[in-house]
Amino acid sequence: VTNLVVRGNRLENLEGASGMRFGASNANLTIENNILRRLGRTGIYMGGVTGAVVRGNILSEMLGVHGNGMSYYETNSNITVTGNCVFGTTRPLTFYGSGTDGVVNNLKFTGNIFVTSDTGRSAVYSWGSTTRTVLFDNNYALGTRAGFILNASDLDVTANRNRTAGLLISGSADTTPSGWTLTGNDNTASYDDAASATLSTSYCSAAGVRGQLTIGVA
């Protein structure tokens, strides 16, 4: 499927089901203004997609063992995830590279709100495997232990002006990996700060480093 638009849908209370899954035959996707709530598995999954914009979606209460909010795995390339809200979820965002095959993933995460459930350790996870070229800019990310848990095996990672409950790098020996850029982040927030945010299935608002982040689905 090429040039697919998935807009304005509501998926909820689906035991054992994912919300939307897109694979290696999909290109130039637009996924926007959808509401996904209480799914047994991952809300929005992409594995091998070439070109996509994911924006203005609100996801909540993904609490299953394999129930992430959003997951971007393996050979995806040129994916922009902007202005989404994922809350009340064990792992709001996860991503994973394709190993050493040289694929440039070019994942961009901008202006999103990611807040875990009260049992979620981190709002953003990298499982590693050499994800190449990842940008985080102006996101709000809170978990009970951290905002981001990134992986030192990834290449060309940039994190600018994010508000987080801590930014941890797995496998880094407490140093920033070569080729990474981490600037202007506020890593002093705590999970309790989410109490001052507005998080609902139709509207989210939270204070980011660059001002208020607001996401609404009509």
Neighbours of 130 (CB within 10 A): 17
pTM: 0.96
Residue 176 DSSP one-character state: P
Q: 186: burial class by Cβ within 10 Å (0-12, 13-18, 19+)?
A: middle
pLDDT tens, residue by residue, 148-203: 999 999 999 999 999 999 999 998 767 899 999 999 999 999 999 999 999 999 99
Residue 195 DSSP one-character state: G
pLDDT tens, residue by residue, 62-118: 998 888 999 999 999 999 999 999 999 999 999 999 886 778 999 999 999 999 999
Neighbours of 28 (CB within 10 A): 15
Residue 41 banded pLDDT, cuts 50, 70, 90? very high
